[in-house]
Amino acid sequence: MNFDVVWSPRAVDQLIALDEYIAVAASPEIAARYTDAVADYCLSLSTFPRRGTRRDDIRPGLRVTNYRKRTVIAFAVDDEARRLAILGVFHGGQDYETALGEHANDTGRDYT
């Protein structure tokens, strides 16, 4: 059985910002292809939610994985609710450890 994938408002904002950045740096078409692929990858976590690396050192239950070695996807898994929350999408070496450590109470469980 698959997990439901939900996005935190912060992760949605980050994906939009990434799209805008790539659209200016390259083209809107390239931006759309890349961010759509990132979103599809996040949705694919529903079938195997234990991908990535546990990062309990940053916050309990946090997992991170990479998309094409340039984008870090941070997420948390709630086994009881069968929900996977995308907590952040960090691109190009952004400091996800500090950003997620500052929001330790943001579990993603309230996002629908």
Range of the domain at 56: 4-101
Nearest to 6 by CA among 86, 88, 104, 100: 86
What is the pTM (predicted TM-score) of this model?
0.87
Tell me the two tokens of residue 60: 């309990």
CATH number of the domain to which 55 belongs:
3.30.2310.20
Letter string b/e over residues 76-102, b meaning 16 or more CB atoms within 10 A of that residue's CB: bbbeeeebbbbbbbbbeeeebbebbee
Q: Can you tell me the mean pLDDT for 8-22?
A: 97
Tens-digit pLDDT profile for residues 24-73:
999 999 999 999 999 999 999 999 999 999 999 999 999 999 999 999 99
Residue 16 falls inside a structural domain = yes
Arithmetic mean of pLDDT over the chain: 91
